[in-house]
Homo-oligomer: A and B are copies of this chain.
Amino acid sequence: MTRVTVWSENVHDQKDSAVKAIYPEGMHACLAQGLAEDRGIITRTAVLQDPEHGLPEETLEQTDVLVWWGHMAHAEVSDTVVDRIQRHVWEGMGLIALHSAHFSKIFTRLLGTRCSLIYREAGERELLWVCNPSHPITQGLPPCFELPHEEMYGEPFAIPEPESLLFISSFEGGEVFRSGCTWTRGAGRIFYFRPGHETYPTYYDPNIKQVLKNAVHWASNATTRWPTRLENIPIDKAPRKIDLHSTANHG
Residues of A at under 8 Å CB distance from B? 18, 21-22, 90, 92, 103, 109-114, 116-120, 122-124, 127, 129-136, 138-139, 143-144, 146, 148-149, 152, 154-158, 160-165, 168-170, 172-176, 178, 183-187, 199-200, 221, 223-235, 238-240, 242-245, 247-250
Residues on B with C-beta less than 8 A from A163 are 161, 163
Given A228-B116, A233-B152, A247-B200, check contact A172 B122 (CB 8 Å). Answer: no
**Judging by beta carbons under 8 Å apart, are B230 and A119 in contact?**
yes
- On chain B, the residues within 8 Å of A235 by CB distance are 120, 122, 173
Specify how many copies of this chain sit in the oligomer: 4
Measured in the bound complex, the distance between the Cα atoms of B149 and A143 in whole Å is 25
B239 touches A139 (CB 8 A): no
Partner of A117, one of B103, B114, B157, B230: B230
Chain B residues with Cβ under 8 A from A169's Cβ? 176
